Structure 1
């Protein structure tokens, strides 16, 4: 009998640990007074959707930016939203980006979701098809026309006839460079592929463990493609998708992959271990001064300033190949289909999509806005970093948005990454790797009924 009781208790403990692991860190605010600590304790004991003693409706927002950038400025957004909506309390559920996709799936299955998810472009179609996020059309149709006009663009288009996300961040990939390293090597920021290759060779010094770039093409999470591979394809004059089908298995795609491999294998200007490194390692190497260049989005500015305030770096457009080109991407906010307070959650989405809300958010995070009205603010035109991304957005010859048009985008990106790895390790030619990736993508388009 005692043995059976012990086994039962062990099972209960295991299940308790599993459910506890599903819960992200909850942050109501980041001030350290005793009163606030008490309120945080009370909030952690309440379920999402319950109200506080002051009868405020709590909404939980899962995001990753406090981890990346720190809480101080992001709390300014919380304070402004709550001042405009005094009956609502916004609570941050903070979790590192690399864990967020799988955590969303786990929380949805457990039925313990926050009210609001941060949804990258690569997740929108997957979460919509899985019923994880609700369509927003009933809310959107009540917005003023000028509000909707300011949001028009590739991240505000319907998926299977419905809109699932409020666009809040916009961005593209540019070239970050270490001023000190380039000055010591007597190198100017490169503007073309040829100049970039020459600069990479000059700044690399293996004996000093100094490289031009971080070699990174890890398959999980499969985000490196947007920085390291896709822009090369566009600069070669190619496309990633066209007419709802893969379009990268062309001569331009082959040329792009061969350049990527040459940097790693022939010129040896990248850090070793490229198959196991990703965004975390790339950013850490740059902030430590170990690499001269980094392909990165506007969000990287605040990340680098936090990681190393003394680092002297700047940003320039990506080098031109046959044409100029970069990947455009961003994030939306979505309402969980299992949210306890959907109307209150929509209030926050509406706030974050507004011109004023996005301006405050972008000033706090150094993001590039999606709202067209916000984009015209002098803040972006005068910022030495952000104006580079604006210029690329407005002037490049071959920019492309892809994630919002891919069924199961994470899976498709992972498969593409695997094929790039097959090419780098000599298992396949560039053409064979691209052909196999294209076949996988097109089968997914067919399965999703996309014509």
Structure 2
């Protein structure tokens, strides 16, 4: 089994690298055609969004084509198994010119050589410094930039105004205050705090005592520093009994649990705002920056970038598209309805999101957020973490025991790659 997994991994990397080489031979010819002003068609691939988001993207692409009459954009939507489909197409030499890449998947795909470094295409007027730094760094490896983030969300504290007022509770600013507030808010079938017990929501907390969840591209979450940082989350559920995870109250996720009034506070992202407006319009709530841990601000950020296929034969046109979509004008159109937040500080300010009562705390967190991304083995590491952390959260076993077992399993799987 070990040999088979090793061969499979090498095969993917080798095949992707081979497709890169195959694309290089025609680059000069393609570039010449573009410079002669002939009509060029490029392909943009991504996953599907809701109808409103699709309409915004369509408008942004139409605006791009109007400003670049020599470039046509073919937009392809991959509805299921996006990364599996993308990797297969890249291996087969049929990858799109430009495509979405989640920061979570970026390290692994960049490692294969399938993503084009973009630094040589960037001109001074593109204003790289305008991007929120943590979001940009998610697509940088060893001093090279492989993508530019198109949008993002951080996490913020969502709180039910009525429930906090009735309990005489102020909006908590520290994690200790949140735990104490939860005790006063837990009554009449309502829990003080709704939790999503997974690494994607708690990575910044796990590392708040100086520990590393991932070290040398291996699982390190059973370290004493990480366990100490996470123990209060487990204790609040099992000792205080003032927190709950969605399934325990018949909900599917934190936003639903909050909207149903089963949790007075949750930590969620920008996606919860349109959801609550549509599904629970009568819920009176506010948002605030995530409470500090050990006196330090922290939150998570989730971002997606536009990247270029390194085997593309139409790289000049591909860059024109990326630079427009992640430029100030294109980004303003794409994020104008608030479904996604702009990764450029100037666009967030122009649209008023930095001062928005609900989105302001989410925007404020971008400059200090921990991006949901790490080394190439993070997918293996987080799967094993989540399985065992949930068991500890639910009181089925001690946290230290659960995470030690999960770490061993994760690192065994990494060895067998």
With the length of structure 2 as denominator, give the TM-score of the two structures.
0.72
Measured at CA, do residues 335 and 355 of structure 1 come closer, stay the same or move farther in structure 2, by a change above 3 Å?
Answer: same
Verify: 1:165 aligned to 2:127, yes or no: no
Deviation of the 1:123 alpha carbon: 0.4
Aligned to 1:77: 60
Measure, in 1, the Cα distance between the counterparts of 2:235 and 2:86. 38
Partners of 1:151 and 1:372 within 8 A in 2: yes
Aligned to 1:367: 340
Measure, in 2, the Cα distance between the counterparts of 1:275 and 1:258. 22
Partners of 2:155 and 2:269 within 8 A in 1: yes
Alignment match of 1:301 (pick from 250, 266, 273):
273
Aligned to 1:285: 257
- Equivalent pairs, count: 373
1:323 is paired with a residue whose SS is: coil
Aligned to 2:381: 412
Partners of 1:216 and 1:273 within 8 A in 2: no
Measure, in 1, the Cα distance between the counterparts of 2:146 and 2:249. 34
Aligned to 2:288: 316
* Aligned CA-pair RMSD: 3.9
Alignment match of 1:203 (pick from 173, 185, 189):
185
Aligned to 1:177: 159
Aligned to 1:421: 390
Measure, in 2, the Cα distance between the counterparts of 1:106 and 1:244. 24
Write the deviation string for residues 280-339 of structure 1: whole angstroms up to 9, x where unpaired: 622333344443222123343334334444443221011223122223342112235676
Measure, in 2, the Cα distance between the counterparts of 1:305 and 1:112. 41
**Unaligned 5+ residue runs, structure 1?**
1-54, 218-223
Alignment match of 2:328 (pick from 343, 355, 359):
355
With the length of structure 1 as denominator, give the TM-score of the two structures.
0.68
Which structure carries more relative contact order (alpha carbon 8 Å, separation 6+)? 2
Measured at CA, do residues 281 and 116 of structure 1 come closer, stay the same or move farther in structure 2, by a change above 3 Å?
Answer: farther
Deviation of the 1:270 alpha carbon: 0.9
Partners of 1:173 and 1:226 within 8 A in 2: no
Partners of 2:40 and 2:317 within 8 A in 1: no
Verify: 1:260 aligned to 2:241, yes or no: no
2:169 is paired with a residue whose SS is: coil
Write the deviation string for residues 5-57 of structure 1: whole angstroms up to 9, x where unpaired: xxxxxxxxxxxxxxxxxxxxxxxxxxxxxxxxxxxxxxxxxxxxxxxxxx783
2:77 is paired with a residue whose SS is: strand
Alignment match of 2:122 (pick from 113, 128, 143):
143
Measured at CA, do residues 134 and 242 of structure 1 come closer, stay the same or move farther in structure 2, by a change above 3 Å?
Answer: closer
Measured at CA, do residues 349 and 272 of structure 1 come closer, stay the same or move farther in structure 2, by a change above 3 Å?
Answer: closer
Aligned to 1:326: 299
Measured at CA, do residues 214 and 103 of structure 1 come closer, stay the same or move farther in structure 2, by a change above 3 Å?
Answer: farther
Alignment match of 1:117 (pick from 90, 96, 99):
99
Measure, in 2, the Cα distance between the counterparts of 1:257 and 1:297. 21
Partners of 2:377 and 2:414 within 8 A in 1: no
Structure with more of its chain in strand, by fraction: 2
Partners of 1:59 and 1:344 within 8 A in 2: no
Deviation of the 1:409 alpha carbon: 2.4
Write the deviation string for residues 232-273 of structure 1: whole angstroms up to 9, x where unpaired: 334556554567776654444223322222233331531463
